[in-house]
């Protein structure tokens, strides 16, 4: 009898009791809207913003309705206009080109390397086509941020970071999301903190922060953003920026604050699971483990490996065999979008030329979630199953 895994790949941990208590307190008060506070009360939303700004070492933080909203707001706030071109990763998820489309701009895709990061050579070749790069740290893989920032700085390109998968991660000890003009994070259930939906936006730029606060729907209550810029920053901006409501509420903020306090420990737990799986996958013929650079402090909330130059039929066989044994893998090479996974050529509102080198990488990317509800034994078992099934298919010829 071959081993079978029976756990769930989509089951997250419960909200910490402290978060549940805080949420109940907010509900009992009835003051869920961030600007609905009692005299001398600081809204949970404001406290969350102050705490997150301090945590990543940024001056300003804004809590919003989603990660996608944070990205679209960042694009608007740095001055992207309808029709502008915005550079972004070819290997990412649909909300990233979607945020560009939300402001009427046009994505220009930059290739992916076999390390699953943005191809800096391709970036160098395309950097003159745009003033903005929406950089997606897809699945937590950080590019060489020093080299990337040097390319963008030299070309006068503003970098906005999509940190949906890198909250808690760092490059050479620098928190992910703090090197670009704006860092955007998601608090959606499958990310590193869970309020169902939600997003965070950080920057050191007072003008960009002020624009974002007004855009998010602050009305003229912007002075109540204690993690926002000083009142002077809003002088003209309050007349110039439209109100495009996308605020976070106090209930979500209450749930998130205790999770942020526990983030470092949670990241260590993710990494223990990630490296257990990685260890089990090593030395599997036909399968390439992604070696993580020393400069990168990862958060292993998902793991990827490559089946490079395998036929579609062979990859599908591996995925089906693993599914039979309870292991849910996703494939970025599929021609049709499926579940949460899609590819740049499925976003047909973008007229994107084919990218053969990236196509070759995407065709080999197999991806798996690593929820914290897995034990280390679960992880070892999952790795054994993948290793065995990849081995069987590989022996048969790929």
CA-CA-CA-CA dihedral for 137, 138, 143, 145, to nearest 10: 0
Structure letter (DSSP) for residue 127: G
Distance CA 87, CA 317 (A): 35
Tokens at 136, concatenated? 């997606």
In the shown chain, the binding pattern of residues 241 to 270 toward ligand PLP, with x for contact by CB under 6 A and - for none, equals ------------------------------
CA atoms of 209 and 214, how far apart (whole Å): 9
Phi, psi of 366 (to 5 degrees): -115, 135
- Near ligand PLP by CB under 6 A: residue from 45, 66, 179, 301: 66
Q: Is 188 in the site for ligand PLP (CB under 6 A)?
A: yes
Closest CA to 119 of 89, 87, 162, 163: 89
**Minimum distance of ligand PLP from residue 103's CB (angstroms):** 15
- Cα–Cα distance for residue pair 65/372, rounded to 1 Å: 24
Binding segment (CB under 6 A) for ligand PLP, from list 5-13, 60-68, 361-369, 382-390: 60-68
Alpha-carbon span 265 to 258, nearest angstrom: 12
| Shortest spacing between CB 75 and ligand PLP, in angstroms | 13
Tokens of residue 232, six digits: 């002077």
β partners of residue 303: 368
Which residue of 103, 108, 138, 314 would you call a contact of ligand PLP, by CB under 6 A?
Answer: 138
- Residue closer to ligand PLP by CB (options 165, 211) is 165
Binding to ligand PLP, residues 303-332 (CB under 6 A): none
- Least Cα distance to 177 among 150, 154, 192, 159 occurs for 159
For residue 297, state whether it binds ligand PLP (rule: CB under 6 A).
no
Asked if residue 186 binds ligand PLP (CB under 6 A), the reply is yes
- Shortest separation between residue 179's beta carbon and ligand PLP, angstroms: 17
Contact in structure between 65 and 198 (CB atoms under 8 Å): yes
> How many beta carbons lie within 10 A of that of residue 57, not counting itself?
11
Which tokens sit at 178?
A: 């703090």
Per-residue contact flags (x/-) with ligand PLP for residues 149 to 178, judged by CB under 6 A? -------------x-xx-------------
**Which is nearest to 262 in space by CA: 51, 25, 11?**
51
* Of the candidate residues 43, 72, 74, 96, the single one contacting ligand PLP (CB under 6 A): 96
Residue 367 touches ligand PLP, criterion: CB under 6 A: no
Q: Supply the minimum distance, in Å, between the C-beta of residue 9 and ligand PLP.
A: 15
Q: Minimal distance in Å, beta carbon 71 to ligand PLP? A: 7
Nearer to ligand PLP, 5 or 52 (CB): 52
| Helices 17-29/250-261 angle, 10° precision | 160
Scanning 41-49, 62-70, 227-235, 365-373 for contacts with ligand PLP by CB under 6 A, the matching segment is 62-70
**Residue with Cβ nearer ligand PLP (37 or 341):** 341
Which of 19, 67, 246, 364 touches ligand PLP by CB under 6 A? 67
- Does the protein bind ligand PLP through residue 363 (CB under 6 A)? no
Residues 10-49, one symbol each (x = binds ligand PLP by CB under 6 A, - = not), give ----------------------------------------
**CA nearest neighbour of 378 among 269, 283, 290:** 269
Q: Is 330 helix (H, G, I), strand (E, B) or coil?
A: strand
Q: What gap in Å lies between CA 162 and CA 99, rounded to an integer?
A: 11
Binding site for ligand PLP (CB under 6 A): 66-68, 92-93, 95-96, 136, 138, 162, 164-165, 186, 188, 199
């Amino acid at each position: 009898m071959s081993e079978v895994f029976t756990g769930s790949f989509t089951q997250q941990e419960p909200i910490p009791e402290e978060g549940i208590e805080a949420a109940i307190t907010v509900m009992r008060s009835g003051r869920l809207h961030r600007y609905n506070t009692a005299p001398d009360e600081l809204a949970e939303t404001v406290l969350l913003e102050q705490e997150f700004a301090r945590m990543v070492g940024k001056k300003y933080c804004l809590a919003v309705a989603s990660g996608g909203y944070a990205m679209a707001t960042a694009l608007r706030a740095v001055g992207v206009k309808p029709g502008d071109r915005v550079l972004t990763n070819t290997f990412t998820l649909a909300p990233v080109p979607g945020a560009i489309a939300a402001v009427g701009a046009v994505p220009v895709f930059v290739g992916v390397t076999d390390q699953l990061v943005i191809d800096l050579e391709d970036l160098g070749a395309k950097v003159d086509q745009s003033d903005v790069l929406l950089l997606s740290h897809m699945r937590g893989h950080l590019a060489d941020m020093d080299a990337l920032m040097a390319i963008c700085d030299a070309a006068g390109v503003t970098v906005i970071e999509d940190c949906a998968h890198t909250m808690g991660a760092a490059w050479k000890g620098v928190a992910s999301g703090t090197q670009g003009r704006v860092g955007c994070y998601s608090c959606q259930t499958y990310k590193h903190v869970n309020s169902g939906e939600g997003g965070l936006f950080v920057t050191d730029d007072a003008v960009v922060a002020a624009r974002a606060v007004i855009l998010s729907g602050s009305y003229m209550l912007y002075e109540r953003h204690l993690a926002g810029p000083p009142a002077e920053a809003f002088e003209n901006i309050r007349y110039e920026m439209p109100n495009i409501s996308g605020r976070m509420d106090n209930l979500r903020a209450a749930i998130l604050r205790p999770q942020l306090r526990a983030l470092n420990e949670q990241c260590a737990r993710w990494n223990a699971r990630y490296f257990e799986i990685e260890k089990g996958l090593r030395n599997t013929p036909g399968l390439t483990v992604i070696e993580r650079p020393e400069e990168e402090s990862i958060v292993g909330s998902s793991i990827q490996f490559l089946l490079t130059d395998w036929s579609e039929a062979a990859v599908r066989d591996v995925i089906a065999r693993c599914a039979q044994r309870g292991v849910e893998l996703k494939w970025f090479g599929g021609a049709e979008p499926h579940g949460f996974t899609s590819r740049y050529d499925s976003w047909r509102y973008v007229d994107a030329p084919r990218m053969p080198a990236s196509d070759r990488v995407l065709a080999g990317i197999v991806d798996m979630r690593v929820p914290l509800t897995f034990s280390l034994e679960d992880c070892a078992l999952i790795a054994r199953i993948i290793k065995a099934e990849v081995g069987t298919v590989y022996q048969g010829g790929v």
